Structure 1
Amino acid sequence: MTLKIGDKAPDFTLPKQDGTPVRLQDLLQKTAVVLYFYPKDDTPGCTAQACSFRDSYEAFKEAGAEVVGISSQSTASHESFSSRHRLPFTLVSDEGAKVRKEYGVPSTLGLLPGRVTYVIDREGTIRHIFNSQFNAKRHVTEALGVIQQLQQPRS
């Protein structure tokens, strides 16, 4: 299944880095969500991406969005990664890649889990999708631009 802009984001409940469950629908009751799928903790591209989200986190919060990173590593791996890089946002563990499959996140060269970011509005509608394995930091600028646009008053 491949999701498109305008589709409803599939709901999920997954453990965050401290082991407590996170449900997408619960987050959406409070804020828009930037959900980014990334390949693996502590790899160069994933670290750059996570730190870029960290450095822009206050701008996301001010624009009315929460950032959630998702990959297949364990909660212990996420806890270590988050602590090492002082990440202020949630990382959830999708062991078995069930949610990755529900969202239709492609693999690169059939081997490496893909890097895709979804901007989801408070109604649960996907408003933007950005897919780039090798331009990790652009995921942040793309997502922030869309979130800021969503906050603009409609005429």
Structure 2
Amino acid sequence: MKASLQPLAISALLFTSITGGLWAEEEISLAEQLSTRAAAAGKKSDPARSAEYARGIQVVANSGIVEAAKQVGDKAPDFTLKNASGKEVKLSEMLKDGPVVLTWYRGGWCPYCNIAMAAFQQKLPEIEATGAQLVALTPELPDHSKDTKKENNLEFEVLTDLNHQVADQYGLVFELTPEVAELYKPKNDLIKFNGEDAGARKLPLAATYVIDQEGIIRWAFLNANYRERAEPSEVVEFLKEMK
């Protein structure tokens, strides 16, 4: 079952005060949106379940995957993947037209991913104004990624990283603990969403990279906690500095 897009993520603008008869607008950061979602989920969740999720995050952090993944200064592995419509997209070809913002999301079943994708969509005009392109990678099979793209009104490329092949090259693939995998299974069966060969316990970190036209990683966000994501506004600011 796919997670529905939270109302909070639909608009990242909050009317906060009236100044001189006009509404003042304050942008809500992605971090704030994700924190609000996590707090709400925590209030409804069984304490034992929450503790198991927290332990699962800590296991990933302790594994050293964040430190071992591709970092700033590394060459970004090239790849060719298909989008939701079956069209092949090649990283090196995209780089001919400008820098690429490469971001992974776990799946449309993940509410944190949907909030993050909505936040990136909101910043898409600013990203493109710098001459860069935004691309999201997901282990979801094309039918599911197509649904995610449609339901979240995403106007950027969403590519299926079948069986985590590209995520593996970037060093982003980890295994859920057996306990967390069992908690996911009733509603978020990874075999159903990603295919049998992708594995019932494997997922990519929700990483984000900025890759320059030489194929070098210039900016990176890596975190073992799936509730924390790259801040789109920070990506935009970095891209402006790159110009």
Q: Which has the higher contact order (CA 8 A, sep 6+)?
A: 1
> Structure 1: where are the runs of 5+ without partners?
none
1:18 Cα deviation (Å)? 0.7
* C-alpha contact 1:117 1:143 (8 A) present in aligned 2: no
* C-alpha contact 1:130 1:142 (8 A) present in aligned 2: no
1:47 maps onto 2:105 in alignment: no
1:121 Cα deviation (Å)? 0.7
1:134 to 227, 234, 242: 227
* C-alpha contact 2:101 2:210 (8 A) present in aligned 1: yes
Matches within 5 A, 1:91-110: 91-107=158-174
Q: Report the AA paired with residue 139 of structure 2.
A: S
Residue 113 to residue 2, structure 1, CA distance change in 2 (3 Å): closer
TM-score (norm 1): 0.89
Q: Report the AA paired with residue 233 of structure 2.
A: T
1:123 maps onto 2:223 in alignment: no
Distance in 1 (CA, whole Å) between partners of 2:170 and 2:204 is: 12
Distance in 2 (CA, whole Å) between partners of 1:73 and 1:129 is: 23
Larger-Rg structure = 2
Distance in 1 (CA, whole Å) between partners of 2:140 and 2:126 is: 27
State the partner residue of 1:35: 102
* C-alpha contact 1:72 1:94 (8 A) present in aligned 2: yes
Distance in 1 (CA, whole Å) between partners of 2:105 and 2:175 is: 12
Which has the higher mean CA deviation after the structures are superposed, 122-131 or 105-114?
105-114
Distance in 2 (CA, whole Å) between partners of 1:108 and 1:140 is: 27
What secondary structure does 1:56 align onto? helix
Q: Report the AA paired with residue 227 of structure 2.
A: F
TM-score (norm 2): 0.58
Distance in 2 (CA, whole Å) between partners of 1:87 and 1:103 is: 24
Which has the higher mean CA deviation after the structures are superposed, 23-32 or 112-121?
112-121
How many residues are treated as equivalent by the alignment? 150
